[in-house]
């Protein structure tokens, strides 16, 4: 009898719960996956979106930058619900080819998407496009820059270097006066930006790593990329370089006053010059990438939708609303990232925004930045690029630390590139 009463109570409770669930309406919860930069800002943006879009919830999942790519691969292969993601220009061709992500045309009204595309900077648009299909809208777009400590150079009577030879001369002079390793460098062969930084430096010399047919040409000793790797290996052997495993360690390292130069993303300069947290804030400046052409790598990270979500009309509509909110509309969110965090942007109207110009003027010489951005070039990203980069990065590191010669590394890297190119062509 007692058991019957308990069973009856449980069934009634279950019925009430089910009814409540049905009455609550069916909110869509989008799974938004990011790397863990400024999560509080993202969460705040999500709250604003949810307030404006009743019926759509956004659940945020984050991974560290170092784990992001393989965590996404695991999610895709295990069919874990993933709706909107941060994407990277180096991963996009492979992910598009594998069917993990869908073109925005699949979820966005064509006229809206076209209007937004017209507002995107060239190198950013190129990074988000595969086979003439646009796969994302910019989360942020940036260039990789050469950054130096103004005070250290002024005190030492050193002019801002314009070539890599001048960087060596300046570093040797600083080393002779007691600075152990003047150049702090993000050396983490498992990070895609380790290769990006090398490309940026090579572009400074006016080099192209691949020809118009996407054949590797950097194994030629006369190629600027070859020369840049020789420069890096030479600088390392002379003890001029202090490697750090992540940009977050470059910020405190530069703020010790023990290093004069680095090559990082522009938003790191904003962090370096943050007077609220950094003791040497205000001493750091951007210079044009050393080399004959002073060009650099421009790139874009973006919001993308997964193919699985694009195939579900309800989720696709919610995903487009979210992506449009975060990267489109009146660019409020992109502007927020730029003003509050110094993140670069791919949305052209923001270049003329007075709030952005005023905020950026506090940590960078905007005219130099614009000059650098004007010469920035997009990278060469292919389906096999990510696989090849993972293969080539440890070789780059080997050459830098003297475990292999530059020629061995460049020859092996070029050979592997050409092998993969053929393999993918015959797929």
Site residues (vs another protein, CB under 8 A): 66, 69-70, 73-74, 76-77, 94, 97-98, 180, 187-190, 242-243, 245, 252-253, 256, 258, 383-384, 386-387, 390-391, 394, 397-404, 412, 424, 427
In the bound state with another protein, the residue whose beta carbon lies nearer, of 326 and 409, is 409
In the bound state with another protein, the residue whose beta carbon lies nearer, of 122 and 402, is 402
β-pair type (261-265, 183-186):
parallel
The b-or-e profile of 41-68 (16+ CB within 10 A means b, else e) is: ebeebbeebbeeeeebebeeebbebeeb
Distance (Å, whole) CA 308 – CA 183:
45
Which residues contact residue 169 at a Cβ distance below 8 angstroms, ignoring those fewer than 6 apart?
Answer: 161
In the bound state with another protein, the residue whose beta carbon lies nearer, of 169 and 401, is 401
Q: How far is the CB of 65 from another protein (least distance, A)?
A: 12
Q: How far is the CB of 95 from another protein (least distance, A)?
A: 9
CB 197 within 8 A of CB 246: no
Secondary structure of residue 190 in the 3-state scheme: coil
How big is the chain by its Cα radius of gyration, in Å? 24
In the bound state with another protein, the residue whose beta carbon lies nearer, of 62 and 383, is 383
The backbone torsions φ and ψ at residue 95, rounded to the nearest 5 degrees and listed phi first, read -70, -35
The backbone torsions φ and ψ at residue 405, rounded to the nearest 5 degrees and listed phi first, read -80, 160
The backbone torsions φ and ψ at residue 299, rounded to the nearest 5 degrees and listed phi first, read -150, 170
Distance (Å, whole) CA 125 – CA 103:
13
Q: How far is the CB of 97 from another protein (least distance, A)?
A: 6
In the bound state with another protein, the residue whose beta carbon lies nearer, of 204 and 379, is 379
Secondary structure of residue 261 in the 3-state scheme: strand
In the bound state with another protein, the residue whose beta carbon lies nearer, of 65 and 123, is 65
Q: How far is the CB of 70 from another protein (least distance, A)?
A: 3
Q: How far is the CB of 405 from another protein (least distance, A)?
A: 12
In the bound state with another protein, the residue whose beta carbon lies nearer, of 5 and 427, is 427
Q: How far is the CB of 75 from another protein (least distance, A)?
A: 12
Q: How far is the CB of 184 from another protein (least distance, A)?
A: 9
């Amino acid at each position: 009898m007692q058991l019957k009463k308990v069973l009856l109570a449980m069934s009634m409770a279950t019925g009430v719960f089910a009814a409540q669930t049905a009455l609550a309406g069916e909110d869509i919860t989008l799974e938004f996956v990011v790397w863990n930069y400024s999560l509080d800002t993202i969460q705040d943006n999500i709250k604003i979106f949810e307030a404006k879009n009743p019926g759509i919830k956004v659940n945020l999942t984050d991974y560290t930058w170092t784990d992001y790519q393989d965590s996404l691969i695991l999610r895709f292969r295990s069919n874990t619900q993933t709706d909107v993601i941060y994407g990277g220009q180096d991963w996009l061709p492979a992910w598009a080819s594998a069917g993990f992500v869908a073109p925005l045309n699949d979820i966005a009204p064509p006229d809206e998407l076209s209007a937004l595309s017209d507002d995107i900077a060239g190198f950013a648009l190129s990074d988000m496009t595969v086979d003439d299909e646009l796969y994302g809208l910019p989360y942020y777009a940036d260039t990789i820059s050469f950054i130096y400590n103004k005070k250290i150079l002024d005190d030492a009577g050193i002019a801002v270097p314009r070539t890599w030879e001048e960087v060596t001369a300046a570093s040797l002079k600083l080393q002779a006066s007691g600075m152990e390793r003047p150049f702090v460098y993000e050396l983490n062969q498992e990070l895609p930006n380790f290769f990006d930084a090398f490309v940026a430096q090579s572009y400074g010399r006016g080099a192209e790593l691949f020809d118009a047919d996407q054949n590797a040409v950097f194994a030629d000793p006369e190629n600027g990329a070859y020369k840049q790797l020789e420069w890096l290996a030479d600088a390392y052997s002379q003890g001029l370089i202090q490697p750090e495993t992540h940009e977050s360690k470059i910020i405190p390292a530069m703020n010790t006053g023990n290093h004069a130069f680095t090559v990082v993303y522009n938003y790191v300069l904003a962090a370096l010059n943050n007077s609220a947290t950094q003791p040497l804030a205000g001493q750091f400046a951007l210079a044009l990438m050393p080399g004959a052409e002073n060009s650099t790598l421009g790139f874009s990270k973006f919001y993308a939708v997964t193919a699985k979500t694009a195939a579900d009309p309800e989720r696709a509509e919610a995903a487009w609303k979210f992506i449009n909110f975060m990267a489109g509309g009146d660019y409020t969110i992109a502007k927020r990232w730029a003003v509050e965090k110094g993140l670069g942007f791919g949305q052209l109207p923001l270049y003329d925004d007075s709030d952005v110009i005023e905020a950026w003027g506090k940590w960078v010489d905007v005219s130099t930045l614009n000059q650098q951005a004007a010469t920035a070039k997009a990278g060469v990203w292919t389906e096999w690029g990510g696989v090849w980069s993972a293969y080539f990065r440890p070789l780059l590191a080997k050459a830098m630390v003297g475990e292999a010669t530059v020629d061995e590394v460049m020859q092996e890297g070029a050979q592997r590139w050409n092998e993969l190119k053929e393999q993918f062509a015959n797929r």
